[in-house]
Amino acid sequence: MSRRRKVAATTATVTVVGLIAAAFVGISPQWATTPRPVAATTTLRGGDAAGPPPVGLATTPPMGWNGFNRFYTHVDAARVRAAARALISSGMKAAGYTYVNVDGGWDLYARDAQGALQPNPKAFPGGIKPVADFVHALGLKFGIYASAGTRNCAGTSAGSYGHYWQDAASFASWGVDFVKFDWCGIPYRDFPHMSRSQIGQVLASEMAQAIAATGRPIVYDVNDWTGDSPWTWAPRVSHMWRTTPDIHDRYASMVWNFSHNVTHFTLAHPGGWNDPDMLEVGNGGMTDVEYRSEFSLWAEMAAPLIAGNDLPTMSQATQAILTNSAVIAVDQDPMGLQGYPVASAGGHWVLTKPLMNGDRAVVLFNQTDKPATITTSMRQLGLPGGLEYMLVDLWNGTATDSEEEISAIVPAHGVVMYRISTSGSPPPTGQ
Ligand code: GAL
């Protein structure tokens, strides 16, 4: 074992993380063996100790379920099993939903004598592995939650700080396929001379390495919602990163998260996605019109589609929204571009998303409280003029033709969403 490894294994948490910080910023190994926080003069050089996240994972935005938006930290094995079964019986698995994710609250505040995380024995009497096995047996994948700091965000459970490698190894041994790495209890004082964003990079990078070292293909979700600009650093080490505070089951919150997430559109790519937070569709605080808007906007932004409702009891309307395969196909388009706005004046939004086969997905979103006619043109959408286009309305299935203008009456808080085919044919003669 090298001296550097010995030090990392035997000194306090702060030293371990300081070492990673040292490796990350490229300072000398000699300094790196000194048990103290990062030096005042340290500056980041833009390198990554972790390197890019594993390729071949999250090549399209991850789809799945996580109970937090409905059940908060009240998570247990029975609920997770029920959600997994419902993903199948509702047709959601067939529509592409794959991950069944346990959120915060699954583990105790205290670690065991070996320093390992302890599943709450009341909620998970057999531990986590049998639940992961159950999920896998249904042909689904299993995700778990951890926090980068000293506690989880609800304050109910241990954080992973000082235990990243141990926790990643535990997760891999249980068969975890997705790690949501939350951002609470961050010991900023251990890094007195680094910005919060630099600290974020160091911690996210360390966990990325710990996950990679397990050898298991695991989607890595950096859930830094705290305003440390994770979109400026997390794309280098993770498959998805938060761009907003937590969503709430209210229209204004949904709009806030949409309108901020949409500004980062240049970053989305196969293997890396902006995350405006999990879906609220079906949780009861918005109308179905508003939930259709959320689902359409998330798909247009190539956002992860992580349903957050109670699947076994959902209404037909909710199920129909979550399984709209034409809208899901926009989200999952293999080119992996995020839709971007070409108009938003007065809360009348026009978004356009180029798709792999040359089609465009277009969302007309009326943010306002009154119905409105929203109009755009092929030119504004970035499509050449002088051709005939077919527009399929992705919520009612009707098809119409247009050469230049697109105009629709959009309900208050609602969307009209089209897929526009660019067959390239000239308009029929005589028209
Ligand atoms: C928040 C996180 C939520 C949820 C919650 C659990 O920080 O953004 O998505 O995981 O913690 O307490």
pLDDT tens digits, one per residue of 202-257: 999 999 999 999 999 999 999 999 989 999 999 999 999 999 999 999 999 999 99
User: Is pLDDT at 430 greater than 80 in this prediction?
Assistant: no
Q: What's the pLDDT band for 426 if we cut at 50, 70, 90? A: low
Structure tokens at 248: 């709430």
CA of 116 to the centre of ligand 1 (A): 21
Residue 3 has pLDDT above 80, yes or no: no
Residue 64 contacts residue 100 (beta carbons within 8 Å): yes
CA 253, distance to chain mean position in Å, is 17
The letter for the amino acid at 26 is G
- Judged against a pLDDT cut of 60, whether residue 22 lies above it is answered with no
Q: Is 224:267 a contact under the CB 8 Å cutoff?
A: no
Q: Which residue from 270, 287, 299 is spatially nearest to 363, judged by alpha carbons?
A: 299
Residue 285 alpha carbon to ligand 1 centre in Å? 19
Closest Cα to atom 11 of ligand 1: 153
Separation of CA 184 and ligand 1 centre (Å): 9
SS3 79: helix
Which pLDDT score is estimated for 23?
Answer: 39
**Where does the pLDDT of residue 50 fall: very low under 50, low under 70, confident under 90, or very high at 90 and above?**
low
Closest residue by Cα to residue 145 from 238, 222, 209: 222
pLDDT at residue 431 is higher than 60: no
pLDDT band per the 50, 70, 90 thresholds, residue 353: very high
Among 73, 103, 109, 244, which residue has the most ligand 1 atoms within 8 Å of its CB, making it the best to mutate? Answer: 103
Q: Is the pLDDT of residue 10 over 80?
A: no
Active site residues: 182, 246
Mean pLDDT of the 332-343 span: 98
Q: How far is the CA of 182 from the centre of ligand 1 (A)?
A: 7
Q: Give the model's confidence band at 55: pLDDT under 50 very low, under 70 low, under 90 confident, else very high.
A: confident
- Name the β-bridge partners of 179: 144, 220
**Prediction pTM value:** 0.89
Provide the terminal-to-terminal Cα distance of the chain, rounded to the nearest Å: 79
Measure Cα distances from 172 to 56, 272, 394 in Å.
18, 21, 39
Q: Give the pLDDT of residue 54.
A: 75
Please report the pLDDT score of residue 53 as a whole number: 78
Q: Contact 14/190 with Cβ under 8 angstroms?
A: yes
Q: Which of 389, 391, 351 is nearest to 367 (CA)?
A: 351
Which residue, by CA, sits nearest to atom 7 of ligand 1? 153
Give the span between the Cα atoms of 226 and 39, in whole angstroms: 24
Greater pLDDT, 333 or 384: 333
DSSP per residue, 263-285: GGGGG-BTTBEEE-----TTSSS
Pocket (CB within 6 angstroms of ligand 1): 68, 73, 103-104, 152-154, 182, 184, 223, 225, 246
Closest atom of ligand 1 to 154 CA is: 12
Closest CA relative to residue 310, chosen from 158, 52, 86: 86
Contact in structure between 304 and 338 (CB atoms under 8 Å): no
Over residues 288-318, the pLDDT tens digits come to: 999 999 999 999 999 999 999 999 999 999 9
- Residue scoring higher pLDDT (24 or 415): 415
* CA-proximal residue: ligand 1, atom 5 (nearest): 153
Is 60 exceeded by the pLDDT of residue 165? yes
Closest C-alpha residue for ligand 1 atom 9:
246
CA distance 1 to 189: 30
Which 3 state secondary structure label does DSSP give 389? strand
pLDDT confidence bin for 422, thresholds 50/70/90: confident
Q: Say whether pLDDT at 12 is over 50.
A: no
- pLDDT over 70 at 98, yes or no: yes
- Mean pLDDT for the chain overall: 89
